Amino acid sequence: MHRSIPWLTVGLLTLIAIAAYLRIRPHNQVRAPAPQMSGEPDLMLWAWETPEDLRALDVSRGGVAYLERELLLGKSQEVRPRHQRLLLPAKVFLMPVVRIETTPDYRWRDANISAMAEQIVEAAKEPNARALQIDFDARASERPYYSALLREVRRQLRPGVVLSITALASWCGPGSWLHGLPIDEAVPMFFRMGGPAAVRGTLPRSLSSIEEPLCTGSVGVATDERWPMLDARQRVYVFRVGSWSAEDLASVNAGRYGELQSLSAPSIQGPSL
């Protein structure tokens, strides 16, 4: 009888340790991508302000999130539409992206949030667009205004359209300011897009830092950097410097997504796909 006590003690301690581990690591609970995107491709190609011919893309393998316009906020408000050509296959899952840029002296308290939201929602009126994404590296002081803007965008957006935003990985930890916002997903960016401030905001580049449920269903990576370990349930957004090539599209169409990343870049976390 006395010999069994240590084993019982070890068993109880093990269960306690496992329970504690699960409590402090909720980021392992990857949720499915936005339900409204169910059945859509699990790979999205970001098409930024470069000429793109994506007509060879297999629409069952990949969708396209393309820069549709930029909203430049400073002493005045300017809407800069996309200038580069974008050739697409029929019936592709299409997600217009609106990039917001602000100057340090921009006075958010004087902003017309409703009119700004109207400019953003206008981007989603493309007939084939079934989703809308906003890309904004909001400073801490801008987040209350950005939150209000997202609520107004959701109010104006037609029913059934997915509302996505990009996010610095630092936004996606415990107690995230994103929690409760009326968005379908926040895509944590695990690369340097957005400049030096965004690089600092994404460190450490590890999926273990992602705990906010809105951030766990998708991830953003770049072709010229090694990727973190990804979960098969996540939707992956891929950014490429320059135009997508025929070789890139062939890799996507064959389901060999790992070929899109640079194997010469330093590893971020663990092995690559």
Q: Is the peptide bond before 204 cis (omega within 30 degrees of 0)?
A: yes
Threshold 0.75, pTM exceeds: yes
The whole-number pLDDT of residue 33 equals 62
Domains of the chain, by residue range, sit at 39-260
* Residues 97-111, mean pLDDT to the nearest whole number: 92
pLDDT in tens, 105-119: 899 988 999 999 999
pLDDT in tens, 20-32: 433 333 444 556 5
CATH code for residues 39-260: 3.20.20
pLDDT at 54 exceeding the cut of 70:
yes
3-state secondary structure of 26: helix
Burial (Cβ within 10 Å: 0-12, 13-18, ≥19) of residue 45: buried
How far CA 60 is from CA of 44, 50, 92, 151, 180, in Å, comes to: 11, 24, 8, 32, 32
pLDDT in tens, 142-188: 999 999 999 999 999 999 899 999 999 899 999 999 999 999 999 99
Two tokens at 268?
A: 């971020």
